[in-house]
Structure 1
């Protein structure tokens, strides 16, 4: 509810700025000089050296999206760091021989924290590491622990914390394209399925499914997508289904998501189309590479 309220506030702010921009430009002397400077500086790329009015709200939209991307990246990074620092306060000495052998064999650092809840995830951008809780060691059997570590090793090899961070940043920023959020979820699910398949090669389907079922009731500790948690309640059923069945079920995109995303894309394409019509084609070599019928439609 809080996220929906923040999104609504941002949308209303954007609408207000776009509606009041022409009035501000026409009444504020400082902004008038700024607009005149922009016309002198950038007007040459447009027909008749006149920058179309549509250019200003579109530029503002691009600036807002850029700022939103920066905000989301900072938020996810800080939340992840705060969560890991909180867990690291309970770090204890590693005594489990299975994990010690794993660390020595693959040279992947594994941190152990004293927490009753079963937690295990991969984190870190430059050199990914694995964090596991004592609660996880008490919950799963030895062969299940090996399968879980192999699962996380695949994430380390693929650099998934960094990929997840980038994917979540852009998906959260482009919230007005709901389809992107769904594609992000499908991407994460595909990553988990591939990691499960890698773990099965080192263990077995039975062992991995047993571990997933044991942890099915555990809550997800994923506060940000800069980590790759083994326990993710939203994906557990799909992962188990993909292991036991060759044609496992996948989340589907509903009509509302397609409609909202398509509407937003259509509006954006119309704006870009009218802006492109105002360009002087001689100043852009790439325009000459477009098919002739597209150049005819755009008036080039």
Structure 2
């Protein structure tokens, strides 16, 4: 069930922006090179709508295309730079002997990449867009017992195997750059929650019970300072993130089915905007 929800959310959050970008690309190629591309979603409307003119619509659409492509490229580049800078900083804090030990201990898990950093506060997250690695702090490893450590590792390994930092980054970038399609913001938030629940399920399945992941989560929350530094959740998948209340509820009651709220107004607005943009692109091309 949760895997299906994850696939649906990612398909919606990634598929809609891709369709919009394709429409924008086709429009830009027509305006710049005069390409006669007849694959537009509403090409059949072109013949009768083009007769009405409205040159100002063309200028508006061209500006929207430029801003969307330029903004998406800039934001993705910024996230990549942030990720590289964060990894470089973490590398400077690494305790290699401990990292090597963990890599050897869990080498049966498709050889995940561990990075143990010298930090007293508890930290556990997966970071990296292209080659993700699991970051654990000495403070966290010192406070966990073997069962809890395994649960945290299995949780983060799930994020690493499924490249969750990259996927959540893409969805968040699209949500930011296309605010006129509000369902994307909702999809990005819900996708993050679903991925955390699936990672918890991975830990429960491999350890055989929910005690390890539950106690580790509670220890981490108790040790974290409310005024602690805020990390960029857009470039990492953290063990203790904003979906923690939902996760604790499920761990206490595994039979509990978390209902994901359907944003009807956001869906209606998004569908209307998508349809309107498609019509305007066809209109302007004509």
TM over 0.5: yes
CA distance in 2, matches of 1:247, 1:95: 38
Which residue is 1:269 aligned to? 275
**TM-score if structure 2 supplies the norm length?**
0.71
CA distance in 2, matches of 1:249, 1:44: 45
Secondary structure at 1:91 match in 2 = coil
Aligned to 1:243, which of 247, 251, 266?
251
Tell me which structure has the larger Cα radius of gyration.
1
Aligned to 1:156, which of 149, 155, 160?
160
Q: Does 1:227 align with 2:236?
A: yes
Structure 2 residues not aligned, in runs of 5+: 1-29, 39-45
CA distance in 2, matches of 1:43, 1:100: 55
- Report the Cα offset of residue 74 of structure 1: 1.5
Shift in CA distance, 136/77, structure 1 to aligned 2, threshold 3 Å: same
CA distance in 1, matches of 2:250, 2:191: 14
Secondary structure at 1:145 match in 2 = helix
Q: Deviations over 1:181-237 (max 9, x none)?
A: 1211110111111111111112120111111111124268541423211121x1111
- Report the Cα offset of residue 96 of structure 1: 7.8
Kept in 2: contact 1:79–1:224 (CA 8 A): no
Aligned to 1:200, which of 197, 204, 208?
204
Kept in 2: contact 1:221–1:231 (CA 8 A): no
How many residues in Structure 1 have an aligned counterpart in Structure 2?
240
Shift in CA distance, 250/141, structure 1 to aligned 2, threshold 3 Å: farther
Secondary structure at 1:104 match in 2 = coil
**TM-score if structure 1 supplies the norm length?**
0.68
Alpha-carbon RMSD:
3.3
Which residue is 2:14 aligned to? none
Aligned to 1:92, which of 89, 92, 95?
95
Structure with more contact order per residue of length (Cα contacts < 8 Å, sep ≥ 6): 2
Q: How does 1:177-216 map to 2 (within 5 A)?
A: 177-203=181-207, 204-216=209-221
CA distance in 2, matches of 1:132, 1:179: 34
CA distance in 1, matches of 2:146, 2:282: 62
CA distance in 1, matches of 2:240, 2:282: 48
Q: How does 1:10-89 map to 2 (within 5 A)?
A: 41=34, 52-53=54-55, 54-89=57-92
Structure 1 residues not aligned, in runs of 5+: 1-36, 281-300
